[in-house]
Amino acid sequence: QVQLVESGGGLVQAGDSLRLSCAASGRTFYTYAVGWFRRPPGKEREFVATINWSGGVTYYEDSVLGRFIISRDSAKSTVYLEMSSLKPEDTAVYYCAAGASTGTFTSDRYQRSEVYNYWGQGTQVTVSA
């Protein structure tokens, strides 16, 4: 069993930076791939970024590539999402999710929400123009 708690959201201006944290409990967390998703106002949840169990492989949604960085600190059981050059369209509730690392860690597979077994409660990020 894995429990996830996101933090670090807030209200910022366009061009600012934020770092989101996803703190996990559970002794097997280090074996899980972790993804960040977001739900913009009035829209469906969408993939943002994902990182494999070792932290050696990452994938990003095209609109955040070059602006967001996902990383993990296994000793702290925490995954981070460093967000820079934020835009108003990045406004959303951000969720982290953990999924069992089975099979090959591919972009096509791990950008799908159904791969993830555990979800946090979300943290709000609001970017003003």
Q: For position 62, what pLDDT does the model report?
A: 97
Residue 18 has pLDDT above 90, yes or no: yes
Contact yes or no for 129/12 (Cβ under 8 A): no
Confidence at 126, pLDDT banded by 50, 70, 90: very high
Dump pLDDT digits (tens) for 23-78: 999 878 888 999 999 999 999 999 999 999 999 999 999 999 999 999 999 899 99
E strand residue ranges, the chain:
3-7, 10-13, 18-25, 32-39, 46-51, 58-60, 68-73, 78-83, 92-100, 118-119, 123-128
| In 4-125, alpha helices (H) | 107-110
Tokens 């994938």 belong to 59
Q: For position 27, what pLDDT does the model report?
A: 79
